[in-house]
Structure 1
Amino acid sequence: MIALLANASRIIARWGLHDELWGFCGHAPELRLHDPLGNLLRVQPLPSPVFDAYTYAGHRARIHDVLLRHAVSLGIDIRMGQEVVDYWEDNENKTAGVLLRSGECLQADLVVAADGVKSHARKYVLASLLTIMGNHDRPHPSGYAIYRTWFDAKEQGVDTDPRTGFLCKDGDVLYAWTGKDVHFIAASFGGGKSISWLITHRDTDYVEGDLSVPGRIEDVLDIVKGWDPRCAAVISKAPSCVDWKLIVHDPLPSWVSRDGRVLLIGDAAHPSLPWVFLSTFIDRNSLDDSSTSMQGASQAIEDGVTLAVTLKMAGKDNIPLAARTWEAIRYERALKVQQMGETTRDKWHRVEIDDKSAGDLGLPIPEWVLAFDAEAHAYSVFDETARDIVENGYQLPSLRAGRIAA
């Protein structure tokens, strides 16, 4: 499952993709939150839209497919299975490029590296800046991991089993159980046709290799021993699951290479933790700055649309200025989102049996995150931001803000 929140969905809706995405995304009207024994703690309405935009939460492959086909329809040349092994830039000739595993070299005005949390391009960008600062790419364990899965409800007998039928009988639903250091979430999509569950739990192991590996259903069942029997019943329906280690990356001091022609975008630049799937939704009565993030995909969309604006405004002859203006516009906001507190998760993981303080278990997401229009903002601040860089020179954003990420 992946979710694009209002700050991203308002951009995507402008591309004319709302109807196609809305047709297969989840539409649960409320969250039903329980303690480990199944006592209902809170029923929270999930308004839609919020801040005049919808949330697109669904299977990531289907959402990716919609975006891919849209890009192809615009004439974008997309090549699958092409591994990039090196990056380069030549400021004198105003070019940059990538070297592929095949030996082919691709040249362009600008390289935008959207290569994810284990970004290879990040090493190039940081290496190009080593004369200014040291290597700040030091991932470390968050202390948590997630088991997650997605499967067809009918194929796995979810709809006909009296222990799990509640996920299918009333269309899309969203259920959660939370206890000490654990929360389990089960949701249905497509009118109850597909099931997604995830369980966040303590895990302090550091993984050097793949962060996402096949999980074991029996290990997941061990976590919910003694819990509401519905939890084990739902977990047991899954044919398989993924074990996803949650790794923390300290904020990078810059996302743009020394010559300004290779830049990092999305998770390659500012990976955020998907602590609580439910932060997709809003309790309008408890908006504050203490929520969890669930903003990785949405921040990448903000990155992309802002970069499009700065490239358009700066022009082809001013690519480094466009890249550095983009970074200056995006850095503080993305950093603030990346560092949003873990308050919601921590509150959930302190829940006691039949907890009477459940009224304090809202899922706040601050208005400054979801009501934001990245495209309009970029247009409004481009001239001033670019002028400052031209007149006063470029500074690493972390230095300009008076700090370097430690």
Structure 2
Amino acid sequence: MSQHVLPRPEDPARTRVIIVGAGLGGLACAMAMHYAGFEVIVFEKVREFLRLGDSLGLGENALKLLKRWGLYEELIAIGNKNPVMNIRRWDNGGIMATQPLMDMAGYIGHRGDYHVAFINRVKQLGIPINMGHEVVSFDEDAPSVTLRDGRTFYADLIAGADGIKSRARELVLGFSDAPKSSGYACYRSYFKGEILKDVPECQQYLKEDCVNIWIGEDKHLVQNTLRDGEEFNWIITHKDTEDIKESWFQPGNMDDVRQLVQGWDESIASAVRATPSCLDWKICYRAPLPTWVSKSGKIALLGDSCHPHLPTSAQGASQATESSAVLALCMKLAGKGNVALATRVYEKLRFDRVRQSQLSGEDLRNRWHNALKHMQDGEEFDPDDIKIKNRWLYPYDAEEDTRARWNEVSSKVHKELDSGIRTPLFGEDGPPRILTVRDAYGKVKDVAQSQSSLLTSLTV
């Protein structure tokens, strides 16, 4: 498709944005940039997308933006229809807390189905998605990207939405940002519900859409049924110190998984035992980045390339959508030729909120994994202590917030650009090492970070 894309913009007066990566973040960015009035081109190294992955949630904070970009009803149709989720004991399945499903991740559906909906909308808008076009190098001053076949394409802004193994991130940082083991891993499986038709213990989860979470010491299992039991998903997060290559596709050993759920509530353990295969997904951490923007300001990161989230955050795709909206609006408010102003305002507007969202996922995992330990120590159990605390995220409107804060933040960035001194987002002379996590009611509590939690556990 890229043979129809000119190396340089046909209309120099119109802003051109090249997006590297056609995942959910890259496609959200394409929609946001289109509605900001820009020419948009997407390059993706994969030749064909398959229905990969498993469950993913889109919160109200993302859906309000996607609705403005003409994508809403299709997403609602994909999501889980049960109004509540249950948090259960690992051993007997007793319900410890029940809360609205929207408090977790909004609408939970299959990642691949959401991806198809995003792709279709981008194509409807006439935005070229150039599949099988791998970007192998960047020129941040031009700025431009060069493909593996040697062709070079120029733009005003390059958005690096190229995922956890981002090449763009290496350019922005000036070094390779290698992952480190967090001490946790996820076994994940997604399969047809008919595989469980002869397993009587788990039939209650096949009758309709549902979400259940079993919590135990240092481990938890999230189960999700879609399409009234036609599809079944489980994810087990557990302690794991094994060091393997980070991969979405590392096969898991089902014998190890079955051993892991020995003695668990039979209604879910029976489903796991009957599962034919799974993936072993190591959870790694990367330190929060000191910047999301290249020295020239003409290459900006978004999504997993700069703010990956734990599965327990249930906000990875939603935060990438927010970042897309903010970056596009900053480009529009800054005006043609002021890309560095736009991108540096963007990273300052986004960092604190994204960091709180990341920490919320870590906080939830720790509360789940320690709840029964506290009960054994004689502490009184409060169901609120194990509930998901994402409700504070949803009223936020990324575009309204950007407009409201533009003058204040852009004034600060102007001073940085004039002085040539950039304040890092994180690290030396950056934000303080006491950050905050909000509870379900929007109240803020301080989270004192140790050296290990500064390098917060993030998914790969």
| 1:396 equivalenced with 2:433 (yes/no) | no
Q: 1:346 to 1:390 in 2, by over 3 A?
A: closer
Gaps of 5+ in 1: 128-134, 277-292
Q: 1:77 to 1:338 in 2, by over 3 A?
A: same
Structure 2 Cα separation of the partners of residues 221 and 358 of structure 1 = 31
| 1:179 equivalenced with 2:216 (yes/no) | yes
Tell me by how many angstroms 1:57 deviates.
Answer: 1.2
Structure 2 Cα separation of the partners of residues 86 and 396 of structure 1 = 27
Q: 1:391 to 1:352 in 2, by over 3 A?
A: closer
Q: 1:227 to 1:341 in 2, by over 3 A?
A: closer
Structure 2 Cα separation of the partners of residues 358 and 238 of structure 1 = 34
Structure 2 Cα separation of the partners of residues 255 and 397 of structure 1 = 10
Structure 2 Cα separation of the partners of residues 183 and 89 of structure 1 = 43
SS at match of 1:253: coil
Gaps of 5+ in 2: 1-54, 434-453, 456-460
Tell me by how many angstroms 1:150 deviates.
Answer: 1.3
RMSD (Å) for aligned C-alpha atoms: 2.6
Structure 1 Cα separation of the partners of residues 302 and 341 of structure 2 = 16
Match of 2:76 among 22, 33, 36: 22
TM-score normalised according to structure 2 size: 0.75
Tell me by how many angstroms 1:357 deviates.
Answer: 2.2
Aligned ranges 1:249-268 → 2 under 5 Å: 249-268=286-305
Larger deviation: 117-126 or 359-368?
359-368
Structure 1 Cα separation of the partners of residues 81 and 242 of structure 2 = 35
| 1:32 equivalenced with 2:86 (yes/no) | yes
| 1:102 equivalenced with 2:149 (yes/no) | yes
Tell me by how many angstroms 1:201 deviates.
Answer: 0.6
Q: 1:186 to 1:392 in 2, by over 3 A?
A: closer
1:183–1:199: 8 Å Cα contact kept in structure 2?
A: yes
Q: 1:117 to 1:164 in 2, by over 3 A?
A: same
State the one-letter code of the partner of 1:66.
A
2:97–2:383: 8 Å Cα contact kept in structure 1?
A: no
Percent of residue pairs bearing the same amino acid type: 34
Larger deviation: 211-220 or 252-261?
211-220
Q: 1:35 to 1:368 in 2, by over 3 A?
A: closer
Q: How many equivalent residue pairs? A: 372
TM-score normalised according to structure 1 size: 0.84
Q: 1:54 to 1:366 in 2, by over 3 A?
A: closer
Tell me by how many angstroms 1:43 deviates.
Answer: 4.2
2:223–2:235: 8 Å Cα contact kept in structure 1?
A: yes
State the one-letter code of the partner of 1:55.
G
1:9–1:54: 8 Å Cα contact kept in structure 2?
A: no
1:303–1:330: 8 Å Cα contact kept in structure 2?
A: yes
State the one-letter code of the partner of 2:203.
G
Match of 2:367 among 347, 350, 365: 347
| 1:318 equivalenced with 2:318 (yes/no) | no
Q: 1:209 to 1:368 in 2, by over 3 A?
A: closer
Once superposed, which parts of structure 1, at least 4 consecutive aligned residues long, lie more than 6 Å away? 353-356
Q: 1:191 to 1:333 in 2, by over 3 A?
A: same
| 1:195 equivalenced with 2:232 (yes/no) | yes
Structure 2 Cα separation of the partners of residues 320 and 88 of structure 1 = 15
State the one-letter code of the partner of 2:307.
H
Larger deviation: 103-112 or 225-234?
225-234
Q: Which residue in the other structure is 2:182 paired with?
A: 142
Aligned ranges 1:277-356 → 2 under 5 Å: 293-340=313-360, 342-352=362-372
2:57–2:105: 8 Å Cα contact kept in structure 1?
A: no
